[in-house]
Amino acid sequence: MRGLILKAEKKYDLAITQFQDALTIRQTIGDKKGIGTTLANIGECYEGLGNLKQALTIHFQSLQIKDSISHQSGLAWTYFDLANTYAKLRDPKNAINYLKPKKSLGR
């Protein structure tokens, strides 16, 4: 919860520290849905810091976890995060690709 508050306050470095702590706990207990969500939050923090390449790396990790557990709504949010990051990188082709509806979502 603390990480979410810090992220909302744009204190991204502090938020990342909180999310990293949460990620360690979620990995220890095998909470894959929580791992995917926490990674997404970390990616959003890196995006807020302007570290867009790191944000992409983290978002792709989140995508992989969410896909492995068929977390449909989580996948939708991660596709949006990827599109947003690519748009900030001035890569419209990839941004549009991740905004296209995925056939597996919404079933």
- Each residue's pLDDT, cut to its tens digit, for the chain (107 residues) gives 899 999 999 999 999 999 999 999 999 999 999 999 999 999 999 999 999 999 999 999 999 999 999 999 999 999 999 999 999 999 999 999 998 866 555 44
Q: Determine if the pTM surpasses 0.95.
A: no
Q: Where are the alpha helices (DSSP H) in the chain?
A: 2-8, 12-29, 32-49, 52-68, 72-88, 92-99
Q: Contact, 74 vs 37, CB < 8 A?
A: yes
